[in-house]
Structure 1
């Protein structure tokens, strides 16, 4: 059985990354499974260890960091960590499936650096920062301050795009899904 490959998809918040990944999973044309992330936050009602997240204690998360068990991790809020365990990627690719990582841009760059040709990295870019701002406002889920923070962060994150193997501009969702699908089919069939 051949090993699976690693698919990295990153984007600023609000660029349609999760929508694109879910559309590709629904199409079922590319064999790919989501990597289950680890966190030290407590499970929410209905969440299952090993399905939604690997729920680690604060001590276990810090120990995993010190033992280099993560391909990437981030302290999202003070004392609240999320990360991707190396053994989770191995579990999926060693079983012959491709693994898809929906991670932030810095994590995406680091994972690509770590795995080289075993991985493909795709950056989903908004047509413009203005268009991204309009999308976030249109969602109606966040305060103007939170939107301003996300837009400012997006400008910084877009500066990482040249470090990715491919950049797909999401100005038309259907076309963006097709473009990412073509990139992934080409990569996984090699």
Structure 2
């Protein structure tokens, strides 16, 4: 019965140090759950090989990006390694109103801005930790996408990123990808079933009480 009810959409904040596995987990969730859509970020960094405008990012010049931020068109934004990243506000608000869950792959700064926004009641925040720092560095080198100097900068930033773990509602250690994915799905399932997110629950309980009264009458 509850599956027929409309519900409030979730804003799923997904954060971790680079290389902890959140991109893989995000991709698996999006491929298997039609109720989750990915929040496409805008960025000033140039496209990497294979990245497509409007699918991976909205690629904007710094001037265009700053104009969007000044016009309150960004739900959150930050500068990372000299490039600007941010989330356009309008598509997110539209999705939430339609009961669609929106997944955010953001750093702790972006997560903090979203939690402090007007959409904070819809937020579910999840932080992913690596099983060890050695494993984190090995994963970064294994991707073979970045110059060694970039990997070194990402490792330096990882300590600061991890220091914000306690700001999140849920924390998962990605040692076993399958188990971590299972735990992630359990969190989302439970959050969807929260009383305040089931918009038809009040009217359903009212109907049950009416049935009691009719039986007594």
TM-score, scaled relative to structure 1: 0.85
C-alpha offsets along residues 42-97 of structure 1, whole Å, 9 cap, x if unaligned?
7788834x44434545444222211222121123354x422101212112112221
Aligned to 2:20: 15
CA distance in 2, matches of 1:177, 1:183: 10
Deviation at 1:136, TM superposition (A): 1.9
- Alpha carbons 1:89, 1:99 under 8 Å: kept: yes
* RMSD of Structure 2 on Structure 1 (CA): 2.4
Distance 1:70 1:138 in 2: 33
Q: Equivalents in 2 of 1:186, 1:132: separation in Å?
A: 29
SS in 2 for 1:68: coil
Contiguous gaps of at least 5 residues in structure 2: 1-5, 195-217
Q: Report if the CA contact (8 A) 1:127-1:171 is conserved.
A: yes
Instruction: Map residues 15-94 of structure 1 onto 2, 5 A cutoff.
Output: 15-28=20-33, 31-40=35-44, 47-48=52-53, 50-78=54-82, 80-94=83-97
Q: Of 135, 140, 147, which aligns to 2:139?
A: 135
Residue segments in structure 1 that go unaligned for 5+ positions in a row: none
Deviation at 1:32, TM superposition (A): 0.7
Contact 2:46-2:59 at 8 Å conserved across structures: yes
Deviation beyond 6 Å, 4+ runs, structure 1: 42-46
Q: Distance in 2 between matches of 1:135 and 1:52?
A: 21
Counterparts in 2 of 1:56 and 1:136: CA distance versus 1, 3 Å: closer
Q: CA deviation at 1:123?
A: 0.3
Partner residue of 1:169 out of 169, 173, 179: 173
Q: Aligned pairs, how many?
A: 187
- In the alignment, structure 1 residue 4 sits paired with structure 2 residue 24: no
Structure 1 residue 9: deviation in Å? 0.4
Counterpart in 1 of 2:116? 113
User: In structure 2, what is the Cα distance between the partners aligned to 1:46 and 1:5?
Assistant: 26
CA separation in 1, counterparts of 2:114 and 2:21? 21
Given the two structures, how large is their TM-score scaled by the length of structure 2? 0.76
Larger Rg: 2
Cα 1:140–1:38 shift into 2, 3 Å? closer
